[in-house]
């Protein structure tokens, strides 16, 4: 299966984020994480709850729940039975994430989306990140503005109790977010460890790097035929 | 029997310079755009705008109407960034109070419940506190936890767009998400509702009647009044028009043409120009 694309490997890496999550709400932002979540539910995590991106929970083409934005913010986020995969314009060596703005907040060089739910997500439930272009502009020593809360800040603010940073999936590999130092967990097939190191400003723990697994033939069929026949995955990676 | 029907311009005539104005909807969804366009035509200025921001923020920024923005995000949903919002931010032209989107909702809830603050865990550890030095924390009286005390986000007036209303101001949403419009109505001293259609009798389940008339001060029938944002199920987002807005807003040479064509006249001429564009 030499024709497997990088996007398909990234979908597998995203699906693996949810292994063991069971009956919780997964909120994937972006095409690749969404395909990963749907693949996980069709295969090894059949109990995941998935939103349609609007106000409904959808399973097997039928509506199984109502979840408007206000209910998400008032109850789902603080209740904590949720795993969100957010984007990240910057991530630093402390696990802080920025989607607010680049540069000085009063007059940013580049205005981004804003804080969105980053501060609330990271102190209430499991949070992972998806970075479609792994580069030194994204993986920086210190983020300009902290939206998603990293390990040291969570501890200092006394909110480490529900703080549960998980992983970062990128187009090159998978990073494990840990308080003692960020670890390179796997590189995608065809990517070298050196390439990831060269595209990250801070030091990574390289003690035990594996290769991201390939999709099985069943998974490949599900991705190509069932979940993404229009190949939206190739627009993101 | 009270009849609260008015025109978009009558609503705007009840607003004033320097006020704090809440705008309902979410991103590029069910925004009271006809009311926003009426503000663009008015001399109103120095507004503090409180919004889950979409093109309402971009358009008001384009006309220099915003002094301060209270926000958790500004996005056009299918297009990530609003060019006008990014331009005024990157030029340092507006002041901002940036909250997490949940902290923002907590502030509205506190105002709606007539409380001085409500506690939340969201915001702690993030730069929401560094960037907003007025924020305070509070220790739980039932344990050791230190929480963010979100101050009530009290509004002078709110503008929201729903699908149906009656002449007395009872108002109904027919889409899948009420967003935060009920909180915008209750957090404000006055709430003005624009709707697709004013009706005598409501169809649909009673729980779709989101606002009752006691919290509504004016109601405007303005068909297609959320254009180019969604007002599902009456219509979805006008994606070609939104792309045209973004293209025009990105290019200082194109923008005057967009204003001439779409924003220089009244709401009827806007809708006529949109029909011609389609």
| A64 inside domain | yes
Domain count, chain A: 1
Among the listed residues B149, B160, B143, B240, the one whose alpha carbon sits nearest the alpha carbon of residue B196 = B160
pLDDT at A1 over 60: no
Smallest Cβ distance to A113: which of B75, B176, B183?
B75
Query: Are residues B176 and A101, on separate chains, in Cβ contact within 8 Å?
Result: no
CA angle B116, B119, B120 (to 5 degrees): 140
Query: Are residues A111 and B53, on separate chains, in Cβ contact within 8 Å?
Result: no
Which tokens in the block code for residue B191?
Answer: 């709430």
DSSP assignment of A61-125: TEEEEE--HHHIIIIIHHH--EEEEEE-SEEETTS-EE-SEES-TTS-SEE-S-STTHHHHHTTS
Task: Find the length of chain B.
Answer: 278
pLDDT confidence tier of residue A53, bands split at 50, 70 and 90 = confident
Return d(Cα A101, Cα A103) in angstroms, integer: 7
Q: Does A113 touch chain B (CB under 8 A)?
A: yes
Q: What is the distance in angstroms between the Cα of B224 and the nearest Cα belonging to chain A?
A: 21
Instruction: List C-alpha distances in Å: A173 to A6, A19, A87.
Output: 10, 17, 15
pLDDT tens-place string over residues B118-142: 999 999 999 999 999 999 999 999 9
Cβ atoms of B52 and B82 within 8 Å: the answer is no
Q: Does B71 touch chain A (CB under 8 A)?
A: yes
| A1 inside domain | no
Domain with residue B162: its CATH number is 3.40.1080.10
Per-residue pLDDT, A2: 58
| A158 inside domain | yes
pLDDT tens-place string over residues B15-47: 999 999 999 999 999 999 999 999 999 999 999
Domain coverage including residue A88? 6-235
Interface of A with B in 173-232 (CB under 8 A): none
| B201 inside domain | yes
Q: Does B132 touch chain A (CB under 8 A)?
A: no
Rounded to two decimals, what is the model's pTM?
Answer: 0.97
Which tokens in the block code for residue A114?
Answer: 């804003």
Which tokens in the block code for residue B232?
Answer: 């599902």
Query: Are residues A120 and B122, on separate chains, in Cβ contact within 8 Å?
Result: yes
Domain with residue A103: its CATH number is 3.40.1080.10
| B217 inside domain | yes
Among the listed residues A74, A58, A185, A66, the one whose alpha carbon sits nearest the alpha carbon of residue A128 = A185
| B195 inside domain | yes
Instruction: List C-alpha distances in Å: A210 to A12, A188, A203, A206.
Output: 14, 9, 18, 10
Q: Does A122 touch chain B (CB under 8 A)?
A: yes
Q: Does B183 touch chain A (CB under 8 A)?
A: yes
Q: Work out whether the CA dihedral B174, B180, B183, B185 comes out positive or negative.
A: negative
pLDDT tens-place string over residues A162-194: 999 999 999 999 999 999 999 999 999 999 999
Q: Sort out which chain B residues have CB atoms less than 8 A from A68's CB and list them.
A: 176-179
- Residue B236's CB is within 10 A of a number of other CB atoms, namely 11
Domain coverage including residue B230? 8-115+154-269
| B128 inside domain | no
| A224 inside domain | yes
pLDDT tens-place string over residues A114-159: 999 999 999 999 999 999 999 999 999 999 999 999 999 999 999 9
Domain count, chain B: 1
Interface A-B: count of C-beta contacts within 8 A: 136
Q: Please report the ipTM that was assigned to this predicted complex.
A: 0.96
Q: What is the distance in angstroms between the Cα of A44 and the nearest Cα belonging to chain B?
A: 30
Query: Are residues B90 and A111, on separate chains, in Cβ contact within 8 Å?
Result: yes
Interface of B with A in 7-36 (CB under 8 A): 26
């Amino acid at each position: 299966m030499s024709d497997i694309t990088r996007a398909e490997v990234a979908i597998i890496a995203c699906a693996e984020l949810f292994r063991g999550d069971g009956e919780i709400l997964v909120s994937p932002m972006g095409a690749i994480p969404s395909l990963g979540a749907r693949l996980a539910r069709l295969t090894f995590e059949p109990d995941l709850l998935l939103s349609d991106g609007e106000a409904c929970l959808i399973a097997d083409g039928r509506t199984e729940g109502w979840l408007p934005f206000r209910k998400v913010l008032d109850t789902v986020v603080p209740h904590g039975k949720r795993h969100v995969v957010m984007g990240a314009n910057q991530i630093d060596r402390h696990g802080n994430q920025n989607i607010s703005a680049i540069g000085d907040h009063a007059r940013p060089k580049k205005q981004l989306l804003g804080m969105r739910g980053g501060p609330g997500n990271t102190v209430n439930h499991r949070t992972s990140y998806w970075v479609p272009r792994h580069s030194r502009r994204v993986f920086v020593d210190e983020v300009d503005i902290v939206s998603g809360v990293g390990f040291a800040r969570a501890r200092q603010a006394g909110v480490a109790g529900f703080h549960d940073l998980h992983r970062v999936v990128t187009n090159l590999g998978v990073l494990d977010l840990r308080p003692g130092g960020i670890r390179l967990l796997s590189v995608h097939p065809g990517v070298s460890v050196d390439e990831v190191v060269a595209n990250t400003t801070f030091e990574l723990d390289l003690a035990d790097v594996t290769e991201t697994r390939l999709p099985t033939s069943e998974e490949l069929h599900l991705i190509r035929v069932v979940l993404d026949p229009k190949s939206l995955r190739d627009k993101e990676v | 029997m009270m009849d609260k029907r008015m025109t978009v311009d009558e609503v705007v005539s009840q607003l004033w310079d320097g006020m704090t104005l809440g705008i309902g909807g979410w991103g590029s969804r069910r925004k009271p755009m006809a009311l926003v366009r009426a503000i663009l035509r008015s001399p109103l200025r120095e507004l503090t705008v409180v919004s889950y921001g979409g093109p309402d923020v971009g358009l008001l920024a384009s006309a220099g109407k915003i002094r301060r923005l209270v926000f958790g995000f500004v996005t056009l949903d299918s297009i990530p960034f609003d060019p006008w919002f990014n331009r005024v931010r990157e030029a340092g032209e507006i002041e901002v109070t940036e909250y997490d989107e949940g902290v923002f909702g907590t502030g509205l809830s506190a105002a709606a419940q007539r409380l001085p603050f409500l506690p939340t865990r969201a915001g702690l550890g993030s730069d929401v506190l560094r960037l907003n030095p007025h924020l305070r924390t509070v220790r739980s009286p039932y344990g050791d936890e230190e929480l963010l005390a979100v101050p009530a986000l009290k509004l002078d007036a709110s503008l929201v767009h729903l699908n149906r209303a009656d002449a007395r101001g009872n108002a109904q949403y027919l889409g899948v998400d009420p967003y935060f419009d009920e909180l915008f109505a209750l957090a404000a001293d006055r709430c003005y509702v624009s709707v697709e259609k004013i009706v005598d009798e409501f169809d649909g389940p009673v729980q779709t009647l989101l606002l009752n008339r006691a919290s509504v001060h004016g109601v405007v029938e303005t068909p297609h009044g959320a254009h180019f944002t969604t007002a599902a199920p009456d219509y979805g987002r006008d994606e070609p028009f939104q792309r045209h807005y973004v293209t025009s807003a990105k290019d200082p040479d194109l923008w005057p043409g967009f204003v001439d064509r779409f924003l220089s006249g009244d709401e009827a001429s806007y809708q006529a120009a949109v029909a011609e564009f389609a």
